[in-house]
């Protein structure tokens, strides 16, 4: 089997761990990050560090981007010294950021003009899944392109779901984020009420984690909240962005999502308070403030 050369752009909380797993699996790797210091762990391992997305494309068969939002993807792909300027026959771009099905189709159309294949492949599983290589990856695009890069995806994820045409991966991710957001809202509301009612939090955790209310949010994030740990596994500002895309898509399709809309407004408030760089679990701080609970 051919050994694909992989270029990775975007070494944030998720991207750095995902790229490191690709390196550990033995794929030839080159990395790029706008903030150069984040490439240092890779440079120390002998992984080449590119000076631009263009250079990444020139030296790769597959270019993966894991950046914040659609404008960042557009800049990486089509901006000055972008990926398209390093295009060569057979190049594949995989956008693993979360944006929207419409953006995915837009990127695919523009990249096709340069002869570049495109997959949208957002992920879920938080920072722990990125570190452990157990992410769930949702992929949209041509089936034959997906099959070619599947070994690369398997280096980062445990569950790889081929969703269908371009945009299908992003649609699945937005649906996932609806549940993630409402799950967090439910856990936070239970914890805020428990605190006000003087219920022992350890007992609440036992009940929630062993019964019908159990979830990843309960298992992973509730212990963090119990300790007052609001550092990000996934940033609140990023969930706000994802929920915004979900609500926009629902409006276009005429589907009412009142729970999602409410959760979005709460995360809007959280970001407005300057807590967007904290984890999604920082929503509890907003509820404590609204309830008059001292941290």
Averaged pLDDT of the chain:
97
For the segment 204-226, the average pLDDT, to the nearest whole number, is 97
CA-to-CA distance for 44 and 52, rounded, in angstroms?
19
Q: What is the pLDDT of residue 295?
A: 80
pLDDT tens per residue across span 267-295: 999 999 999 999 999 999 999 999 999 88
The answer for residues whose C-beta is within 8 angstroms of residue 268's C-beta and 6 or more apart is 240
Neighbours of 227 (CB within 10 A): 8
pLDDT tens per residue across span 49-98: 999 999 999 999 999 999 999 999 999 999 999 999 999 999 999 999 99
Q: 173, 195, 240, 241: which is the annotated catalytic residue?
A: 173
Reply yes or no on whether the pLDDT at 1 is more than 60.
no
What is the set of domains in the chain, with CATH numbers?
Answer: 6-164 (3.40.50.720), 171-291 (1.10.1040.10)
Reply yes or no on whether the pLDDT at 21 is more than 80.
yes
What pTM, to 2 d.p., does this model score? 0.93
Query: Residue 163: phi, psi to the nearest 5?
Result: -90, -25
Evaluate whether 36 touches 59 at the Cβ level (below 8 Å): no
Burial class of residue 46, CB neighbours in 10 A (0-12, 13-18, 19+): exposed
DSSP class of residue 138? E
Q: Largest alpha-carbon pair distance within the chain? A: 64
For the segment 151-174, the average pLDDT, to the nearest whole number, is 98
Neighbours of 290 (CB within 10 A): 11
pLDDT tens per residue across span 240-270: 999 999 999 999 999 999 999 999 999 999 9
Instruction: Determine how β-strand 6-9 pairs with β-strand 29-32.
Output: parallel
User: Taking the C-alpha atoms of 282, 17, 121 and 185 in order, what is their torsion angle to the nearest 10 degrees?
Assistant: -10
Instruction: Determine how β-strand 92-95 pairs with β-strand 62-65.
Output: parallel
Q: What is the pLDDT of residue 2?
A: 66
Angle at 159 between CA 232 and CA 90, to 5 degrees: 95
Distances (CA, A) of 133 to 22, 30, 62: 9, 19, 19
DSSP E strand stretches across the chain: 6-9, 29-32, 62-65, 92-95, 117-120, 123-124, 135-140, 157-164
CA-to-CA distance for 23 and 48, rounded, in angstroms?
11
Q: Is 89 left (phi over 0), alpha (psi -120 to 50) or beta?
A: beta
Give how far the C-alpha of residue 53 lies from the chain's centroid of Cα atoms, to the nearest Å.
20
Taken as a whole, the chain contains a residue count of 295
DSSP class of residue 295? -
Q: Which two tokens stand for residue 254?
A: 């005429």
The position carrying tokens 């997906």 is 146
Please say if 173 is a catalytic residue.
yes
CA-to-CA distance for 235 and 24, rounded, in angstroms?
26
Q: What is the pLDDT of residue 166?
A: 98
Reply yes or no on whether the pLDDT at 199 is more than 60.
yes
């Amino acid at each position: 089997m051919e050994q694909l050369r992989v270029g990775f752009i975007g070494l944030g909380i998720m991207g750095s761990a995902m790229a490191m797993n690709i390196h550990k699996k033995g794929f030839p790797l080159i990395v790029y990050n706008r903030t150069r210091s984040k490439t240092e762990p890779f440079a120390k391992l002998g992984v080449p560090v590119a000076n631009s997305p263009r250079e990444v494309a020139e030296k790769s068969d597959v270019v993966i981007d894991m950046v914040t939002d659609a404008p960042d993807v557009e800049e990486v792909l089509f901006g000055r010294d972008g990926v398209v300027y390093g295009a060569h026959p057979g190049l594949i771009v995989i956008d693993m950021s979360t944006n929207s099905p419409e953006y995915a189709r837009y990127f695919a159309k523009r990249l096709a003009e340069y002869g570049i294949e495109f997959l949208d492949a957002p992920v879920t599983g938080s920072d722990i899944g990125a570190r452990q290589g157990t992410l769930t990856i949702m992929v949209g695009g041509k089936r034959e392109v997906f099959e070619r890069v599947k070994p690369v995806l398997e280096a980062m994820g445990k569950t790889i779901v081929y969703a269908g045409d371009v945009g299908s991966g992003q649609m699945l991710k937005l649906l996932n984020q609806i549940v993630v957001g409402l799950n967090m809202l439910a856990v936070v509301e239970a914890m805020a009420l428990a605190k006000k009612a003087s219920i022992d939090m350890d007992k609440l955790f036992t009940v929630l984690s062993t019964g019908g209310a159990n979830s990843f949010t309960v298992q992973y994030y509730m212990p963090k909240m119990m300790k007052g740990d609001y550092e990000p596994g996934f940033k609140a500002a990023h969930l706000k962005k994802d929920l915004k895309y979900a609500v926009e898509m629902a409006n276009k399709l005429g589907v009412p999502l009142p729970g999602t809309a409410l959760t979005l407004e709460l995360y809007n408030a959280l970001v407005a308070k300057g807590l967007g760089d904290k984890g999604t679990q920082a929503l509890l701080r907003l509820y404590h403030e609204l309830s008059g609970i001292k941290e």
